[in-house]
Structure 1
Amino acid sequence: MTVPSKVLYASEPALDVAEFRRVLVESGLGETRPVDDEARLKAMLDNANLVLTARLDVDGKPLVGVARAITDFSWVCYISELAVSKSAQGLGVGMGLMDEARRQLGPSVAISLISMPDAVGFYERIGMQRMTDAFWFGRQR
């Protein structure tokens, strides 16, 4: 992929499920998300109250990144997914999505997430602090 002249970042609460699914699959997160369950993907989007997108500024404005989050817009934001298509990885799209989240949330809102093991270095490089006291009840399906 050639480096785009511009990546457009926006809040997109009505993101199309098929586009969301495509980016999850292309990013590698499709292995850990219910990409074959359209109803569940739709519920994931419908119940997130912050959905940010990254689109290339070329014909058709293709989606190359998504950040999906739950937040109170006052104290904390939990990033459920930060997915960037493999063809756009390394172009600054993930950092751009995180910067857009920080811009929209403001400096008084903390951002937290649980990283996939192979993405830990990315979060460290963009300045996120690693936390040791996280807890988890796993899902049954």
Structure 2
Amino acid sequence: MKNIEFKIGIRPNTSEIIKLYDSSGITRPTNDSNRISKMYKNSNLIITAWLNNELVGIARSLTDFCYACYLSDLAVNSEYQKEGIGKHLINLTKKEIGPQTTLILLSAPLAMEYYPKIGFDTIKNGFIIPRTE
């Protein structure tokens, strides 16, 4: 991770987030900047990765810091993937939430093989009511 600076609690501007999402391959409603802005306004744990003042990675979570944390978004610019940035963002998230807190995420289909490699267990006891919009 060449000169990557990690920051906790910084909310990047919406255009930076959209640019990162579009460059990472993550599917998010990047054509709706108001929705992206609202997603971040209502999140309480944001950890970012920066290279020369450019946002190259982000982990966005919702947590109570004592029982459960939902890691909603993990995105790394495709140019910097496979350099350990995503794993470090997850490790920083784990550090922030502490050992009493379960870290939960829903994986994109293309990342299903990634998460077990970095310490996540597959669960089969989850349920979902999908978005309608």
2: CA distance between counterparts of 1:38 and 1:70? 20
Deviations 1:60-93 (A, max 9, x none): x211101111000110100110001100100000
1: CA distance between counterparts of 2:79 and 2:10? 24
Aligned equivalent of 2:48:
53
2: CA distance between counterparts of 1:83 and 1:14? 14
2: CA distance between counterparts of 1:120 and 1:110? 19
Q: Does 1:81 align with 2:73?
A: yes
Of 80, 88, 96, 2:88 maps to 96
TM-score, structure 2 normalization: 0.95
Of 31, 34, 50, 2:29 maps to 34
Match of 1:131, as an amino acid?
A: I
8 A contact 1:53–1:65 mirrored in 2: yes
8 A contact 1:13–1:45 mirrored in 2: no
Q: Does 1:19 align with 2:11?
A: no
Name stretches of at least 5 consecutive residues in structure 2 with no aligned partner: none
Match of 1:7, as an amino acid?
A: I
Displacement of 1:12 after TM fit? 3.2
Name stretches of at least 5 consecutive residues in structure 1 with no aligned partner: none
CA RMSD of aligned residues (A): 1.1
Q: Does 1:136 align with 2:128?
A: yes
> Structure 1 runs of 4+ off > 3 angstroms?
none
Of 121, 130, 138, 2:113 maps to 121
SS of residue paired to 2:73: strand
8 A contact 2:10–2:48 mirrored in 1: no
Q: Greater CA deviation, 116-125 or 91-100?
A: 116-125
TM-score, structure 1 normalization: 0.90
